[in-house]
Chain A
Amino acid sequence: MLDLAKSTLRAPRDYSACSGCNLCLLVCPVWRRTHDFSLTPHGRAKALQFGAAAGDIAASVQSCTLCAACEPVCPEEIRLVAMTLDLRRQLPQPAAMADLLAGMQTRASPSAAPALSSATVLLPGPALRDRPSTLARVRALLQRSGATALGADDGADIALALEAGGEIAQRRLDRFLRPLHGVKKIIVADGLLLRHLQPLLPGSKIIGVGEALSGLAAVRSALRAKDLYVIEARAYHADYQRLVRYYDSLRAAAGCSFNLDLQRIAIPAAARSLPQRLGLEAVDDGVQLRWILQGRKVTRIVVESMEDRAAFEQYGECPVVHLADLVDDGTSSV
Chain B
Amino acid sequence: MHLHSPAVEPGTVGPCPVAPDALQGIKRQQTNPARWNGSNWNEFAAALRQQGIELRENAAARAAFATDAGGTAYGLAHGVVIARNTEQVALLLRAAQAYRVPVTVSGGGLTTEGESVAFGGVLLDMTGMSRVLAIDAEAMTVRTEAGIFWHSLAEELRRQDLDYLSAPLNLTSSVGGTLGVGGIDVNSARLGCSADQALALQVVTPTGDIVECSDTHNAELFERVILGYGQFGIITAATLRVRRYTPLRMHYFYYASLATAIEDLQLIDRNEASDYSGILTILDCAVNVLVAFDSLEREAAFMAEWRPRLRGYGEFGFGLRTFAHYILRPWKLGEAWYLLQRKRELFPELRRPEYMRDGTMFDRSVVFSRAVWKFWGSRQMVIPDLATSAGKFVEAVKRGNAVCRKYFPHYTLYLVGIKLRPEHRAHYEMSCVPPDAEGWAYGCEFEPMMDAGVYSRDYLQSFKNEIYDIGVDMGASYYRFGGMMKGYIRRVFGDALVDRHLALKRAADPAMILNRHVIF
Contacts and interface: CB of A to CB of B under 8 A. Distances in A.
Contacts of B110: 22
B374 A295 contact: no
Contact of A262 (B58, B64, B363): B363
B322 to A, nearest CB: 28
B172 A47 contact: no
Contact of B63 (A17, A19, A50): A50
Interface stretch (B22-30, B67-75, B287-295, B459-467): B67-75
A52 B377 contact: no
Contacts of B61: 38, 47
Interface stretch (B122-130, B251-259, B275-283, B414-422): B122-130
A25 B377 contact: no
A35 B355 CA distance: 28
A47 B64 contact: yes
Contacts of A20: 67-69, 71, 109
Contacts of B354: 244-245, 248, 264
Contacts of A152: none
B108 A248 contact: no
B51 interface: no
- Interface size class, chain B: 35 or more
Contact of A75 (B65, B154, B370): B370
A25 B149 CA distance: 10
B246 interface: no
A73 B367 CA distance: 11
B60 A56 contact: yes
B353 interface: yes
Contacts of B58: 56
Contacts of A25: 127, 149, 172
Given A35-B127, A52-B63, A19 B377 contact: yes
A37 B64 contact: yes
B64 A43 contact: yes
B5 to A, nearest CB: 28
Contact of B374 (A18, A35, A75): A75
Contact of A46 (B56, B63, B127): B63
A14 to B, nearest CB: 13
B59 interface: yes
A21 interface: yes
A51 B156 CA distance: 36
Interface of B: 56, 58-61, 63-69, 71, 82, 108-110, 125, 127-130, 147, 149, 151-152, 154-156, 158-160, 171-172, 353-355, 362-363, 366, 369-370, 373-374, 377-379, 381
Interface of A: 17-23, 25-26, 35-38, 42-43, 46-47, 49-52, 56-57, 73, 75-76, 244-245, 248, 261-264, 294-296
Given A262-B151, A262-B158, 13 more contacts: A20-B69, A22-B110, A22-B171, A23-B172, A23-B373, A25-B172, A26-B149, A26-B172, A35-B130, A37-B125, A43-B64, A47-B63, A51-B63
10 contacts: A22-B109, A23-B370, A26-B149, A26-B172, A35-B128, A37-B125, A46-B63, A75-B373, A262-B154, A262-B362
Nearest first, the 8 closest Cβ-Cβ pairs linking A and B are A295-B159, A50-B63, A22-B172, A75-B373, A52-B60, A47-B60, A46-B64, A75-B374
